[in-house]
Copies of this chain bind each other. A is one copy, B any other.
Amino acid sequence: MTIEPRLDIIGAALADPSRSRILCELMDGRAFTNKELACAANVSPQTASAHLKQLEQAGLTASLRNGRHVYHRIANAEVAAILEGLAQLSPTDHLSRPGQIGTDTRQARSCYNHIAGRLGVLMTDRLIALNVLMVRDDTICAGPRYHAFLDEIGIEAPLGSLGKPPAKFCLDWTERRHHISGPLATAIMQKFLEAHWLERRTGSRALNITAEGLDVLECQFGLTQVDIDLVDPV
């Protein structure tokens, strides 16, 4: 009389190559239109529309109407985290378009709408070490240096609703450690992209760190090039 999870429902949503391509395309956290995704998956708009309908019904994506365009994105950070996990588990296709989980994405990449990879994990560690964030019982709250940090980096203050934690832990499947997600993490990535401290590598979730970005990471986070390049043997 109790409950059994229906893995097959999620499974069915994932079970098609075109939908897999679409999800990978969305995994960098940006929203795309039906047509763009149809193109990415190499199918007609009608077909893509059907796929997106199915993904949405399965709760994997969400859509937003804007004029005659409909933008689709990953439903939430939870879904993004699971998909990252599945991507680690699944075989990879060497013949297809430029890469999602390649060697180049291990250093820094976007996960949904925040920074993941080695850089994401390191930044998270430093934010805690620098008292910007505090951890108690695995929930994250603002630390004494929280507002000072936002000022210095140039993010205006009220993030998320009052009383709610500004960030949550999100498991990083390549680093096998936590990075942060949530409003603060989103704001940080947005700021880094706007200020050109980070740049998206085209057609990929990989992020390039610019020279200015390296300065900021050193001054604000105490992270050097060496820290970031270091790849730990697995």
Nearest to A121 among chain B residues (CB) is B138
Judge whether A132 is part of the interface by a CB distance below 8 angstroms: no
Which residues of chain B have C-beta atoms less than 8 A from A102's C-beta?
A: 2-3
The interface-forming segment of A14-22, A152-160, A207-215 is A14-22
B93 touches A82 (CB 8 A): no
In the complex the two chains form, what is the Cα distance from A101 to B6 in whole Å? 11
Docked complex: A50-77 residues within 8 A CB-CB of B? 59
In the complex the two chains form, what is the Cα distance from A140 to B183 in whole Å? 31
Q: State the copy count for this chain.
A: 2
Q: How far is the CB of A12 from the nearest CB of chain B, in Å?
A: 4
- Listed in ascending order, the chain A residues whose CB lies under 8 Å from chain B are 1-17, 19-21, 23-24, 59, 78-79, 81-83, 85-94, 96-102, 104, 138, 169, 171, 176-177, 204
In the complex the two chains form, what is the Cα distance from A102 to B3 in whole Å? 6
In the complex the two chains form, what is the Cα distance from A82 to B38 in whole Å? 28
Q: How far is the CB of A58 from the nearest CB of chain B, in Å?
A: 8
A6 touches B177 (CB 8 A): no
Known: A11-B12, A12-B15. A4 touches B96 (CB 8 A): yes
Which residues of chain B have C-beta atoms less than 8 A from A97's C-beta?
A: 4
Q: How far is the CB of A126 from the nearest CB of chain B, in Å?
A: 14
B82 touches A89 (CB 8 A): yes
Which residues of chain B have C-beta atoms less than 8 A from A2's C-beta?
A: 94, 98-100, 102, 104, 204
In the complex the two chains form, what is the Cα distance from A41 to B16 in whole Å? 24
Which of A3, A79, A88, A90: most chain B Cβ within 10 A? Answer: A3
A20 touches B11 (CB 8 A): yes
B85 touches A81 (CB 8 A): yes
Which of A81, A91, A97: most chain B Cβ within 10 A? Answer: A91
A10 touches B86 (CB 8 A): yes
Known: A85-B82, A85-B85, A138-B177. A99 touches B3 (CB 8 A): yes
Nearest to A22 among chain B residues (CB) is B7
In the complex the two chains form, what is the Cα distance from A14 to B11 in whole Å? 5
A9 touches B90 (CB 8 A): yes
A6 touches B90 (CB 8 A): yes
Nearest to A79 among chain B residues (CB) is B89
Which residues of chain B have C-beta atoms less than 8 A from A83's C-beta?
A: 7
